[in-house]
Amino acid sequence: MSSENNKVPFEERLKRLEVIVTKLEKGEEPLEDSLTLFEEGIELLKSLEDELGNAKARVERVLKGEKGE
């Protein structure tokens, strides 16, 4: 995962991923551009999944703390 992605807010990365998916679904981009977009999309997806996983773990820690577990 690129450390540059971590500097961009989650919501902005998600919007960028949505733009990439839309472009790829249209199928109007040249092959090389499509591959570049695909690679960027995969990198964004991984960074978003990592951040969501961290957020989930944080919520679970807070909930366990409240329950006294």
Residue 11, domain CATH = 1.10.287
Q: What is the pLDDT of residues 13-61, one digit of tens each?
A: 999 999 999 999 999 999 999 999 999 999 999 999 999 999 999 999 9
Provide the domain count of the chain.
1
Q: Are 47 and 6 in contact (CB under 8 A)?
A: yes
**Containing structural domain, residue 40:** 3-67
In the structure, what pLDDT confidence band is assigned to residue 68 with cuts at 50, 70 and 90? low
Q: What is the pTM of this model?
A: 0.82
- Percent helix, strand, coil in the chain, to 5, is 85, 0, 15
